[in-house]
A and B are shown apart, each in its own frame.
Chain A
Amino acid sequence: MVLAVYPAFGTGYGVRAMLQIFMWIALAGSWNLISGLTGYVSFGHVAFFGAGAYTGAILIAKAGWPWLSAALAGGVGACAVALVIGYPCLRLKGPYFAIAMLGLNEVLRALVSYFEGLTGGGSGLSLPTLHATVPIYYAMAGTAATVTLLTYLIITSRFGLRLMTIREDELAAEAMGIDTARHKLYAFLLSAVGPGIAGALAARDQGYIEPMSVFPLATTITMIVMVLFGGKGTVWGPVLGAVVLFVSQEFVWARFPYVHQLLFGAIIVAVVLLMPRGVLGLLQIKYRLPRTI
């Protein structure tokens, strides 16, 4: 409720910051769907954000699509990339999958830089001016809510439990009759949609994109840290991680520029060493909380 009426009285900065938080919830929540549940760590998840951003931006700038349909198309575009790349890459195990995903991101960045006619190449792509921050705020909030709801539905279903068996013991899952390849692919496809839509919305909001701005490795790292902090494989972990890390980053950034990266690094080290399951993961195990958290 508060979030729904916030744009009416919030400051310009406040609305923009909330928009960013929604974006991070959508990104972290999506990463959690594939990596938190199946244990297949994607090190190139920003590739789907970038794919969505370019799909959306091209449709808006070159085909004159309205931004909302372009955003949905961004989700479809990212999903299509996931389908092409997921089929071969999900056969890879452990670090090899992580590296392949890292490679995918670099390949996509190179591709959009190369096809200048369509993407503007390295000099980027400008979108027609449009003041739509508030509607985009709602669209991004809807994306974040949808990703979280989807996570809830998956985690509380047997489909979600089967995804976790892949993380727990993939060979045993296969021997129990679980079609692990198909399950991984479904999770991967679902995990690409959110970033695709978020990417297209972010592109519309910023009005200008270029390869370096929508395919940064740092974005993937941030999603991972948010999920690890909040609790991988939980419903609310990515939400908690996105809010806490974004807010603390903004505070530190405002007061001590340059220090925020140091802080971020320190958080990564602390989380991995002290609570590898994240805040909610730790609480879940300690207090036997149900999977609905």
Chain B
Amino acid sequence: MATPVLEIDGLSKRFGGVTAVDRVSLSLEPGRIYGLIGPNGSGKTTLFNCITGIERCQAGRVSFNGERIDGLKPYEIARKGIGRTFQVIRVFPELSALENLLVVTRGGLAEAEARALELLRFVKLEGLRNEYAGNLSYGQQKLVEFVRVLMRDPTLILLDEPAAGVNRTLLNDLLDAVRRLRDRGKTVLLVEHDMKVVMGLCETVFVLDHGEKIAEGEPGVIQTDERVIEAYFGR
């Protein structure tokens, strides 16, 4: 077995008296697509925030390619090769679609521009490259956010509800893109409420409930897990 891309060990995060993430451990292998599901408020986004350094966890450790990253600043973690999107869109609204991508990388401008244009073409937005990102439709902004993550060519990509608000055609393109990334050896962890997407795309699914990991396994197995059914539908 290869070294895990990401290894989380006993991670906990409390906000005052609320335990948002409770001793969660999980491990991601390279070249696979993982799903993270759970009812609202089960700690999925908080877990993303802890991985990317936006929140500081109180206990546990996070390792990326065998190197500890908990305690690092968000930009340091991003530079190590973890990219993420947000549940609520966070493009830079008064920067053009192209500029949204250009700001991410350093080095040669011509090279960055070529890469940014290639990525915009990939999501069929090259015609709108000079439009302010804030003027694009919701789905288009989501795509800008998605390819912005790819500018740095990250090893691990965290997607927070990539399917929400995206129409079917766009969504299929997006899911194809995710699969192609996987085929190139990237690891993807996505939070998603659309079970069709999760079941069709993910090879392994983690289920969170009240901050705890209650199940882990192949999608088919997860669907019949009693604790998962209970978490979603009650007893």
A, B from the same assembly: yes
Interface residues of A (CB under 8 A from B): 158, 161-162, 164-165, 167-169, 171-180, 285, 288
The reply to whether A174 and B90 form a contact with Cβ atoms under 8 Å apart is: no
The reply to whether B130 and A174 form a contact with Cβ atoms under 8 Å apart is: no
The reply to whether B78 and A177 form a contact with Cβ atoms under 8 Å apart is: yes
Partner of B152, one of A161, A174, A177: A177
Distance in angstroms between the alpha carbons of A177 and B74 in the assembled complex? 7
The reply to whether B75 and A165 form a contact with Cβ atoms under 8 Å apart is: no
Using CB atoms, name the residue of chain A closest to B148.
Answer: A176
**In the complex, what residues of A have CB within 8 A of residue B92's CB?**
164-165, 168-169, 172-173
B84 at interface, CB cutoff 8 A: yes
Complex interface bits, B84-122 against A, C-beta within 8 A gives 1, otherwise 0: 101000111111000100111010010010000000000
User: Known contacts A175-B54, A177-B78, A179-B75; is A161 also within 8 Å of B90 by CB?
Assistant: no
User: Known contacts A165-B92, A288-B130; is A175 also within 8 Å of B84 by CB?
Assistant: yes
| Interface of chain B residues 29 through 82 with chain A (CB within 8 A) | 52, 54, 73-75, 78-79
The reply to whether A171 and B103 form a contact with Cβ atoms under 8 Å apart is: no
The reply to whether A174 and B74 form a contact with Cβ atoms under 8 Å apart is: yes
The reply to whether B78 and A168 form a contact with Cβ atoms under 8 Å apart is: no
User: Known contacts A158-B103, A161-B95, A164-B95; is A171 also within 8 Å of B54 by CB?
Assistant: yes
Complex interface bits, B8-38 against A, C-beta within 8 A gives 1, otherwise 0: 0000000000000000000000000000000
The reply to whether B109 and A175 form a contact with Cβ atoms under 8 Å apart is: no
Query: How far apart are A185's CB and chain B's nearest CB, in angstroms?
Result: 14
**In the complex, what residues of A have CB within 8 A of residue B104's CB?**
176-178
Distance in angstroms between the alpha carbons of A176 and B152 in the assembled complex? 8
Contacts A165-B95, A169-B90, A173-B103 known; 11 new A-B pairs at CB < 8 A:
A158-B103, A161-B99, A168-B94, A171-B54, A171-B90, A174-B74, A175-B78, A175-B84, A175-B86, A176-B75, A177-B104
Using CB atoms, name the residue of chain A closest to B101.
Answer: A176
The reply to whether A162 and B103 form a contact with Cβ atoms under 8 Å apart is: yes
User: Known contacts A161-B95, A164-B92, A171-B54; is A177 also within 8 Å of B75 by CB?
Assistant: yes
10 contacts between A and B (CB under 8 A): A158-B102, A158-B106, A161-B99, A164-B95, A168-B92, A169-B90, A174-B75, A175-B54, A175-B86, A177-B79
Q: Count of chain B residues with Cβ under 8 Å from any Cβ of A?
A: 29
Residue with the highest number of chain A CB atoms closer than 10 Å, among B52, B84, B93, B103:
B103
**In the complex, what residues of B have CB within 8 A of residue A179's CB?**
73, 75
Query: How far apart are A290's CB and chain B's nearest CB, in angstroms?
Result: 9
User: Known contacts A168-B94, A176-B148, A177-B79; is A161 also within 8 Å of B74 by CB?
Assistant: no
Residue with the highest number of chain A CB atoms closer than 10 Å, among B91, B92, B106:
B92
The reply to whether B95 and A175 form a contact with Cβ atoms under 8 Å apart is: no
The reply to whether B54 and A158 form a contact with Cβ atoms under 8 Å apart is: no
**In the complex, what residues of B have CB within 8 A of residue A161's CB?**
95, 99, 102-103
Partner of A174, one of B78, B106, B132: B78
Using CB atoms, name the residue of chain A closest to B130.
Answer: A288
Using CB atoms, name the residue of chain B closest to A163.
Answer: B103
**In the complex, what residues of B have CB within 8 A of residue A178's CB?**
75, 103-104
Distance in angstroms between the alpha carbons of A161 and B105 in the assembled complex? 11
User: Known contacts A158-B102, A165-B103, A180-B75; is A174 also within 8 Å of B95 by CB?
Assistant: no
Using CB atoms, name the residue of chain B closest to A160.
Answer: B103
Distance in angstroms between the alpha carbons of A169 and B152 in the assembled complex? 18
User: Known contacts A158-B109, A165-B92; is A175 also within 8 Å of B52 by CB?
Assistant: yes
The reply to whether A172 and B103 form a contact with Cβ atoms under 8 Å apart is: no
Using CB atoms, name the residue of chain B closest to A161.
Answer: B103
Complex interface bits, B145-184 against A, C-beta within 8 A gives 1, otherwise 0: 0001101100000000000000000000000000000000
**In the complex, what residues of B have CB within 8 A of residue A167's CB?**
94
**In the complex, what residues of B have CB within 8 A of residue A175's CB?**
52, 54, 74-75, 78, 84, 86, 90
The reply to whether B95 and A168 form a contact with Cβ atoms under 8 Å apart is: yes
Distance in angstroms between the alpha carbons of A179 and B74 in the assembled complex? 9
**In the complex, what residues of B have CB within 8 A of residue A162's CB?**
103
The reply to whether A172 and B86 form a contact with Cβ atoms under 8 Å apart is: yes
The reply to whether B94 and A164 form a contact with Cβ atoms under 8 Å apart is: yes
**In the complex, what residues of A have CB within 8 A of residue B75's CB?**
174-180
